[in-house]
Structure 1
């Protein structure tokens, strides 16, 4: 057997650092259980008073959220020079809320959904667990995709 090179170890983030990274992001992947099937959806979220809030429309995502099963939301990013990346996972229980129940002034600027259409249901995830890690990466050219890789697939 050959020996493998041991690279830099991932740094486990404190809960405080996790919330700082979440505040710097607004796009995440929401994992829900739809019956017995896992589903993942991109969402635009806003951290508000140590919870995550987002809007959604009727459909699979909303039905899964209203089932009362735990969910997970992951957000990640990288530093300005693409030499360090981070990932934060929030696990929790989703709940439907009304507009007046959340202090959006604490969330900073409005963050609009990417997808057009009416998103009339406001969901709040109350965390049961917040974890994250940060680590250095190799040169960007080894893992970064082309800016528009779809043109290379045609």
Structure 2
């Protein structure tokens, strides 16, 4: 980000603000390591207390989660006027959901997976780090047309 005073500044969010955004969200991206490769999956999620919870079926994602290796999760969004965006990243350890099943219904009674099929594994992410940021959207004229960035890759 440029230090020009005419550009919006990124605001670092306090953990409480991050959780408010997460509680109001329902889809994010889960990043795991599968073997030697990073993988990213969209997931429907909910918050239960200070954990993230989602359902999944057997497959690559579940196999990666079962290793117990740290994961990263990101949710982001935009305000109703499309003038401000936010992003929250949660890093932590995955595990089987160990809370009260009634808490799942209370946290998100209408939050069901979008993809059809049985999702019998309920996973929670216990955060070790929660961070977020928010900033105003720059007008398109500020960032378009793209510049030739080929010099940056040499």
TM-score interval, normalised by the smaller of the two chains: 0.7 to 0.9
Instruction: Report the counterpart of residue 147 of structure 1 in structure 2.
Output: none
Q: 1:30, 1:73 within 8 Å by CA — same for their partners in 2?
A: yes
> Does 2:56 align with 1:78?
no
TM-score with structure 2 setting the length: 0.83
1:120 is matched with which residue? Answer: 120
TM-score, normalising length from structure 1? 0.83
Contact map agreement 2:53 2:97 (CA 8 A) in 1: no
Q: How many pairs does the alignment contain?
A: 141
Give 3-state SS (helix, strand or coil) of 1:127's partner.
strand
Return 5+ residue gaps in structure 1 as ranges: 144-154
The 3-state SS of whatever aligns with 1:22 is: helix
Q: Partner of 1:81: helix, strand, or coil?
A: coil
Equivalence map 1:1-154=2 (5 Å): 5-6=4-5, 7-97=7-97, 100=100, 103-139=103-139
Contact 1:48 1:102 in 2 (8 A): no
Indicate the SS of the match to 2:63. Answer: helix
Partner of 1:148: none
SS in 2 for 1:128: strand
Contact kept in structure 2, 1:99 and 1:122, CA below 8 Å = no
* Superposed CA RMSD: 2.2
